[in-house]
Structure 1
Amino acid sequence: MKYIVDPAIFDLAPNLEFGIILATDLKVTPSNEADQARFIEAQEALETRCKAEEIRSLPTVAAYREVLQKAGINPNKFTPSVEAMLKRVAKGNRLPSINALVDLANAVSIEQTLSLGGHDLNDIKENLEVRFSRPGDMFLPFGETQWEAVEAGEMVFASGHEVQTRKWVWRQSELGKVTTATTRVFFQLAGFAGDPALDRAMAAIEQLVVDRLGGKVQVFRVNRQQPEIEFIRPEA
């Protein structure tokens, strides 16, 4: 299986860099007391240091918005999911607990103000690509059962014709949702060359997988110099 970033994406943002972590043999459980404490601490720390109106000016968030604009996507209408999450937290509204993996990954995202997504590989059968959408691409919105067509030319993250995330970092699909039954996860972290936040976030996710979830990891970097990687899709 391959993960490929279309060169046209790097034409928009040459300094884009993706951190990829393939996690296997996971034991995902409900969050325990320590997980919940870390999750809450990350939210409280952000609320203390940032006002909601300042979130869009954070370096990573501002950079995501710029990429979206270059791709012809209005970031005010299609707000990056990490920006929406950070604004919610900065306003004092706590995120609900989902499970240990999701809660702790969200804690990392909040701490590093970085976009990261975890996708259950059980729902992913074809190559993964960051590209512009093509005729025939379809999207199953989170929590829904009815597929919707995606117009050609939209920046997406997709597996075959199944779009995993629309408007690049806006909305994730129901496909790949992580639950306590999940044992294999494809983590995609979106950062920028030279930004230590990506390094810190990758190290934190790797530690989460190994130390808390008892799993194994393969770690990759994808950038303009190396726009694709190949890996063996792990069996369930």
Structure 2
Amino acid sequence: MSQFTVQAAFWKIFPDVRIAVLSVHHLDNHQRGQVPPELLDEANQHVSELIPNEPISANPLIHEWREAFRKFKTKKGARFAVENLLKRAKKGNPVRSIDPLVDIYNAISLQTGFPIGALDMNKIQGNMSLEVAKGGEPFTAIGEDESDPALPGEVIYRDDQRVTSRCWAWRDAKEVETTEDSTDILMYSECLKPEWQEKHAQAMNDLASDIERYLGATVKVQYVDHEHPTVTY
């Protein structure tokens, strides 16, 4: 068993955040036609209802996340994990199918605006932590070969050896990337505002249900917050 812990330095910046932690086991992530294509199609079409205003920054969801990203050190141009997906879909460039698991959580994110991260649990080294970087922690992004270490003051996810996600959950590390052969997954999703928590909990229930229904997995949903900063998965 491993632990997922949110460190005190994070809570000093974001005391009201609540994070869902999902442990997924016995996943079949091979393309077998088990995920209905309309799941992602309908989610793409829903985006104009979620963020109807122009410019995109005029939408409360986007505004709140951009304000949050101003509270810590980030790479230039870093945004919260769903903004680019929403922007693409709103402009008529729908998010395309990648693999069953990604399609399911992208559909939930497009419908609700909540970011969802996914790491191959069997590639994680030791325990997981959400913390504020000291600077220099190693990170190599998916699709890259060169290391791009964390900045001092940057919010990061990390395991015992390296950063697993930069700028909160903006980009993931190649070493923990999920593939069609991944069978055990650690997922997490941040709820930025207390008034969003009910909607967030419903989204996580829907996510867990879809993964179990379509991919034959078992899913456990837990939450961490300022008063309960650690869960075991």
Asked if 1 retains the 8 angstrom alpha-carbon contact of 2:46 and 2:110, the reply is no
- Encode CA deviations 1:161-220: one digit per residue, 9 max, x unaligned: 411111113222223222210101111010033412211221111102211111112221
Please state if 1:226 is matched with 2:228.
yes
Q: Amino acid of the residue matched to residue 69 of structure 2?
A: L
Tell me the residue number matched to 2:15: 14
Tell me the residue number matched to 2:33: 32
**CA RMSD of superposed structures (Å):** 2.1
SS in 1 for 2:125: coil
Whole-Å Cα distance in 2 between the matches of residues 122 and 61 of structure 1? 33
C-alpha distance 49-135 of structure 1, shift in aligned 2 (>3 A): closer
Whole-Å Cα distance in 2 between the matches of residues 98 and 33 of structure 1? 13
C-alpha distance 31-145 of structure 1, shift in aligned 2 (>3 A): farther
SS in 2 for 1:129: strand
Asked if 1 retains the 8 angstrom alpha-carbon contact of 2:35 and 2:214, the reply is no
SS in 2 for 1:115: coil
Q: Cα distance, 1:63 vs. partner?
A: 2.6
Whole-Å Cα distance in 2 between the matches of residues 55 and 172 of structure 1? 24
Tell me the residue number matched to 1:234: none
Q: Cα distance, 1:7 vs. partner?
A: 1.7
Q: Amino acid of the residue matched to residue 230 of structure 1?
A: T
C-alpha distance 13-149 of structure 1, shift in aligned 2 (>3 A): closer
- Encode CA deviations 1:71-124: one digit per residue, 9 max, x unaligned: 1447x7212221111011100102221111101110001101111111111210
Whole-Å Cα distance in 2 between the matches of residues 67 and 41 of structure 1? 29
C-alpha distance 126-64 of structure 1, shift in aligned 2 (>3 A): farther
Whole-Å Cα distance in 2 between the matches of residues 202 and 48 of structure 1? 20
Q: Cα distance, 1:54 vs. partner?
A: 4.6
TM-score by length of 1: 0.89
Asked if 1 retains the 8 angstrom alpha-carbon contact of 2:109 and 2:116, the reply is yes
Q: Which runs of no fewer than 5 residues in structure 1 stay unpaired? A: 232-236
SS in 2 for 1:81: coil
Tell me the residue number matched to 1:128: 128
Q: Cα distance, 1:147 vs. partner?
A: 2.2
TM-score by length of 2: 0.90
Whole-Å Cα distance in 1 between the matches of residues 176 and 53 of structure 2? 30
Residue from 168, 186, 202 that aligns with 2:204: 202
